Amino acid sequence: MGNVSLDQVIEICKKAGSAIEDVRHAGFTTEFKDSRGTDPVTAADTAADAILSKGLTGLIPGSRYFGEESSEQGDADSFACWIVDPLDGTKEFVRGIPEYVVSVLLQVDGNNELAAIHNPATGDIVAGSAAGVLLNGAATRATDRNELPGATALASRTETEAGEWDKFSDLDLVTTGSVAWKCARVAAGLADLTFTLRPRHVWDVGAGFALVHWAGGQISNKEGEDIAIAPTHAKVRCFLASNGNLHGELLDRLADVPLGPDRRN
């Protein structure tokens, strides 16, 4: 990894976050990547992406940059790859809900090395490595709760409205935008679990998965199998993220629940 530090990655994420907030304060128009008008994009997405692509690849010359908004950059065979969502939660950004984030994962030789998720609206940042996870610079980890009823669960607004969380009325459900932010909050010990039975791109979940693992939590698919993250356009079909203690009971509860639809291109 050379001399790249977590602090350097955090600073670049903060610069991207500042660009996002500048766009929000200045005003913006919303376009859509799909014909159904379900996948918005704004100048904030592209402004953050420009800062991240230049800054992160500058830390490791020749490194690969795999993100939502950019065509791939760098050497596809490089030992280092950045998996980036410059603005996860664009729907929330457009609606003025402070649940959108910058999400960055560095992989070295295919292994997760560093990750950072920054919420520019609140100023919070969850970041870490195998050495541990930090919330705003202070050490943190997943919760130690071991009873599923009453657990704090972060639920998608869209999925809640579609009835996909109806089986979990005994949980403390908190609707939250941005799948990356939901994972970050589980890793930071601010919630006990989240899940989605709908597909997600690797740039949506890469950093969050790494942080949950490093914080002592657990990530799996609906069958309880580990999910590998790599720079590919193939989607993660579904996932569960928990503090670890609740994972088995959560899997049991979801065993007969069908997968949700893929409504994104």
Is beta strand 152-155 parallel, antiparallel or unpaired with respect to 193-196? parallel
CATH C-level class of 152-254: alpha beta
Residue 38 confidence class, pLDDT cut points 50, 70, 90? low
| 6-139 homologous superfamily | Fructose-1,6-Bisphosphatase, subunit A, domain 1 (3.30.540.10)
Q: Of 31 and 124, which is predicted with more confidence?
A: 124
Does the reported pTM lie above 0.85? yes
Q: Taking the domains of the chain in order of start, what are their residue ranges?
A: 6-139, 152-254
Rounded to the nearest angstrom, the gap between the alpha carbon of residue 173 and the centroid of all alpha carbons in its chain is: 19
**Residues 184, 124, 204: CA angle, nearest 5 degrees:** 35
Considering only 23-37, 41-55, 248-262, which range has the smallest mean pLDDT? 23-37
Which tokens hold the place of 9?
Answer: 């990655």
Residue 84 confidence class, pLDDT cut points 50, 70, 90? very high
Percent of the chain topping pLDDT 70: 94
- What pLDDT is stored for residue 3 in this prediction? 82
Listing DSSP states for 115-133 in one string gives EEEEETTTTEEEEEETTEE
Which pLDDT tens digit goes with each residue over 131-189? Answer: 999 999 999 999 999 999 999 999 999 899 888 898 899 999 999 999 999 999 999 99
